[in-house]
Amino acid sequence: MISVRERILDYVRLHPEGMTDSQITKGLAIRYVPQTNSRCRELETAGLIERRVVNGKIHNFPMDGEPIEPDAPDQDAQTEPAGREWFWEGNVQERVAAYLKAQGYTIDRCADCASRERGRDIEARDGAGPLWVTVKGYARKTESTHPSTQAGHYFKDALFDMIAWRGENADVRLAFALPDFQRYRALAQKVAWLLPSARFSFIWVQHDGTCGTR
């Protein structure tokens, strides 16, 4: 069954000129405007629509053409101990290190994610020289944390690593490792223009542990 959020997102995409919550409620025959408002705010937080004031009223505008991605599971619903999900930073780091080894790299250093050790998360090297990798995970949903919002903060921190490291060493290869969530894909697309000048790549980690640079 198509959720109300998905119906609203599809409807907004059909109206790039922008739609108010009331217009969406009427157009989709949703019972209450507050329900539409709540879903539109969720979509804004997820980076899928933009809400801005036009002629004194808030309108909803489409941000991209990506599908809605479910949030990370609620903390109370987890069946694994805290920090053991596939998208936890330490697990992402471990899978990226294994991937690099399989590609012929020697791993010189892996930071201790559990203790939040500072510095480069992975330092590796092969015949072409060193590779520095910054690794980020994806947040768990709690009463005070919205994963999509936190992902934006993680992404900005990692992007700063790329810029700072490039300034530190003009020749080293740089990579940005992330669990493959739609939110991160959308953010990566927005900074694609920076790749040629900062010269870094993305390593995407899948739920099954496989990695790739696509």
Domain co-membership, 93 together with 120: yes
Using the 3D structure, point to which of 34, 62, 90 is the last residue of a domain. 62
In the chain, beta strands by DSSP E = 19-20, 49-54, 57-62, 106-110, 122-126, 129-135, 173-179, 200-205, 211-212
Tally of domains in the chain:
2
Does residue 69 sit within a domain? no
We report the CATH number of the domain holding residue 36 as 1.10.10.10
Give the model's pLDDT for residue 91. 92
We report the CATH number of the domain holding residue 186 as 3.40.1350.10
Give the model's pLDDT for residue 168. 94
Q: Is there a contact between 12 and 20 (Cβ–Cβ < 8 Å)?
A: no
Domain co-membership, 51 together with 113: no
Closest among 212, 134, 200 to 173, alpha carbons compared:
200
Does residue 52 sit within a domain? yes
Q: What is the pTM of this model?
A: 0.62
Domain co-membership, 55 together with 79: no
Per-residue pLDDT of the chain (214 residues; tens, 9 = 90+): 678 888 899 899 888 889 999 999 999 999 899 999 999 988 888 888 989 888 888 999 988 544 444 445 444 333 344 446 889 999 999 999 999 999 999 999 998 877 778 889 999 999 999 999 999 999 887 767 788 888 999 999 999 999 999 999 999 999 999 999 989 999 999 999 999 999 999 999 998 889 988 6
